[in-house]
Amino acid sequence: MSTLCWIGRRAPYVPTSIDRVALSEFDLIDRYFRGCGARRTDVRVGVGDDAAILDCPAGAELVAAVDTLVDGVHFPRGSPPASIGHRALAVNLSDLAAMGARPAWALLALTLPQADEAWLSEFAAGMSALARAHEVALVGGDTTSGPLCVTVQLLGYAPRASALLRSGGRAGDAVFVSGTPGDAAAGLAIEQGRLPGAGEAAAYLRERFLYPAPRLALGECLRRHASACIDVSDGLLGDASKLARASGCGVEITYDGIPVSDALVRAVGEERARELALTGGDDYELCFSVRPTHVARLLSELPPERWSYTRIGTLRETPGADVLRAGAVMSFSHSGYDHFTTPA
Ligand code: ADP
Ligand code: MG
């Protein structure tokens, strides 16, 4: 995930121990994390024993991901606790979506400066709501005291040898992206007070950063259609080029084809919207490639209006990533927008 959002200077950390506050570690786990998320019959042993015991379906492969969110690095200091709980799970759900896997079980390693019950209750509610929406059970974790840091490990499964990889693309494959990237980067800028005057669009854009909606249903359907897939967490251009590189190709992206939301265009204008769509982070959309011979079937079985995805380009033999606008190559750095160049 994007680590580019450093939020000012860190306040000095004053260590506190969970044991010193009224709520014991045991009570905290029992109150907020036992029963968090969905109930699943394949959880033979969940929160409460030394480890969880899970029943993986026959014929399936286990698919595992883990991601850490650090206070002030991956979310602004003082973010709504529900958003932190939501995002800690969402970033992992998005990784499983990119594999075409179905999520099932999560583990939560939580480091807290203090056992603040109001904070914990909102945090757990935010995580639980998203977990239930995707039928994920919280089956274990670890709770420690220290600077706020949230790690979620997510386990899921896919039918044997069917998961989507980054490496399956070939030159000539069509490249698509779901949703409207760039919204979350604008939402983060609004959260940080870097984008004043976003007007009515502000609420929508903030929501897109605080409560991203990972594309699990699309990911599972894409197992039948896509040659390669990656989730867009660090900016569309950078992630599309990661997919291309893993596939031994390069990628050409058509600037005018990049989907941007009306809200983003209203907030920052058309040019800046496309720039944010290419280089912003935290979208948790899917970028995927499809063989040219499979595109018609994709479009008819997963109508783009209903599934919300757009063709943005093509994989090519020449390495690297280019954005083309009216026949000219625009130059961007992967970590951010640089400057325009035109071919000699
Ligand atoms: P141990 O010392 O054996 O690791 P813990 O006291 O850390 O056990 O945890 C007790 C139980 O509570 C374990 O089942 C563990 O998985 C679970 N657990 C601990 N912290 C969390 C958490 N933040 N969320 C979910 N489950 C947790
Ligand atoms: Mg133990």
| pLDDT (0 to 100) of residue 23 | 81
| Rounded CA separation 47/342 (Å) | 58
Torsion of CA 189, 190, 194, 195, to 10 degrees: 110
Q: Which atom of ligand 1 is nearest to the CA of 36?
A: 25
Looking at all shown ligands, the one closest to residue 30's CA atom is 1
How confident is residue 18, by pLDDT bands cut at 50, 70 and 90? Answer: low
Q: How far is the CA of 89 from the centre of ligand 1 (A)?
A: 17
DSSP H helical ranges for 283-340? 295-301, 304-307
Q: Going by CA atoms, what residue is nearest to atom 5 of ligand 1?
A: 142
How confident is residue 308, by pLDDT bands cut at 50, 70 and 90? Answer: very high
Torsion of CA 240, 225, 57, 216, to 10 degrees: 50
Paired residues of 324 in beta bridges:
254, 329
| pLDDT (0 to 100) of residue 3 | 41
Q: What is the pLDDT of residues 261-297, one digit of tens each?
A: 999 999 999 999 999 999 999 999 999 999 999 999 9
- Taking residues 314-324, report their average pLDDT: 96
Here the tokens at position 22 are: 């009224």
Q: What is the pLDDT of residues 229-262, one digit of tens each?
A: 999 999 999 999 999 999 999 999 999 999 999 9
Q: Which atom of ligand 1 is nearest to the CA of 142?
A: 20
| pLDDT (0 to 100) of residue 333 | 59
Q: Which of 18, 27, 29, 151 to mutate to test the pocket of ligand 1 (most atoms within 8 A of CB)?
A: 29
Whether 173 and 226 have beta carbons less than 8 Å apart is answered as no
| Rounded CA separation 14/31 (Å) | 26
Whether 191 and 126 have beta carbons less than 8 Å apart is answered as no
| Gyration radius from the chain CA atoms | 21
How confident is residue 343, by pLDDT bands cut at 50, 70 and 90? Answer: very low
| pLDDT (0 to 100) of residue 4 | 36
Q: Going by CA atoms, what residue is nearest to atom 21 of ligand 1?
A: 141
pTM for the predicted model, two decimal places: 0.91
Query: Which residues' Cβ are closer than 6 Å to ligand 1?
Result: 29, 33, 47-50, 108, 110, 138, 140-143
What DSSP line would sit under 110-121, residue for residue?
EEESS--HHHHH
Secondary structure (3-state) at 338: strand
Q: How far is the CA of 49 from the centre of ligand 2 (A)?
A: 7
Tell me, letter by letter, the H, E, C secondary structure of 130-190.
Answer: HHHHCCCEEEEEEEEECCCEEEEEEEEEEECCCCCCHHHCCCCCEEEEECCCCHHHHHHHH
Whether 94 and 212 have beta carbons less than 8 Å apart is answered as yes
Q: Going by CA atoms, what residue is nearest to atom 24 of ligand 1?
A: 141
Q: Going by CA atoms, what residue is nearest to atom 18 of ligand 1?
A: 141
CB atoms closer than 10 angstroms to residue 59: 8
Whether 159 and 102 have beta carbons less than 8 Å apart is answered as no
| pLDDT (0 to 100) of residue 247 | 98
| Rounded CA separation 172/251 (Å) | 9
Q: Going by CA atoms, what residue is nearest to atom 27 of ligand 1?
A: 141
| pLDDT (0 to 100) of residue 174 | 98
Minimum mean pLDDT among 26-30, 93-97, 130-134, 304-308: which range? 26-30
Q: How far is the CA of 146 from the centre of ligand 2 (A)?
A: 20
| Rounded CA separation 256/202 (Å) | 24
Q: How far is the CA of 19 from the centre of ligand 1 (A)?
A: 15
Q: Which of 18, 47, 112, 154 to mutate to test the pocket of ligand 1 (most atoms within 8 A of CB)?
A: 47
Q: Going by CA atoms, what residue is nearest to atom 7 of ligand 1?
A: 142
Looking at all shown ligands, the one closest to residue 141's CA atom is 1
Residue 102: CA count within 13 A, CB half-sphere: 12
Residues 6+ apart with CB under 8 A from 164: 98, 99, 100, 219, 222, 223, 226, 228, 229, 288
Q: Going by CA atoms, what residue is nearest to atom 9 of ligand 1?
A: 142
Q: Which atom of ligand 1 is nearest to the CA of 138?
A: 25
Q: How far is the CA of 274 from the centre of ligand 1 (A)?
A: 44
